Amino acid sequence: MSDVGEVLTGTAMIALGSGAAVQASDAYGGAMMTVAGLLGLLSAQEAERAAAWRAADIAAMRALLPDAAVAPATDLTLTALDVEWAALSDALIAHHAAVEAAGDIAQDRAILQFYRESAARREFLWPQ
């Protein structure tokens, strides 16, 4: 786990514990601390895999697009990856519409499979 992930996880665990303790005397304050803790745990998950899911999606979209005219990111910051991801996503949606209109079932299924895999990469695991 990265330093950011560890800080977010640790802070979240403290917030969750504090929320439970505060709940006895302040229901609203306890609920807010609990929510802050849950958001911290979900943020830690995103911090750990933010670049990985974007890079995987970008590679998969480039493979699905016949001519990906979108320039690759010039750096690996999340901002640059998000710009590239958004442009490829727009291109893939337009391509998918053309694929459906042409009745290309195999390509349609490949794109739908990408959508499922992309969603799975970004799924948050709810703390138990």
Q: Tokens at residue 42, please?
A: 């979900």
Tens digit of pLDDT for each residue in 75-98?
Answer: 888 899 999 999 999 999 999 999
Q: Tokens at residue 29, please?
A: 């304050």
For position 128, what pLDDT does the model report?
A: 67
CA angle 58, 6, 57 (to 5 degrees): 5
Q: Answer yes or no: are the C-beta atoms of 115 and 60 closer than 8 Å.
A: no
Distances in Å between the Cα of 91 and the Cα atoms of 6, 65, 66, 84, 85 are: 36, 8, 10, 11, 10
For position 56, what pLDDT does the model report?
A: 94
Report whether pLDDT(1) > 70: no
**Count of CB atoms within 10 A of residue 43's CB?**
17
Tens digit of pLDDT for each residue in 17-61?
Answer: 888 888 889 999 889 988 888 888 888 888 888 889 999 999 999
CA gap 23, 118 in Å, rounded: 38
Closest residue by Cα to residue 73 from 116, 95, 62: 62
Q: Where are the beta strands (DSSP E) in 29-125?
A: none
pTM of the entire structure?
0.75
Q: What percent of the chain has pLDDT over 90?
A: 48
CA gap 32, 92 in Å, rounded: 40
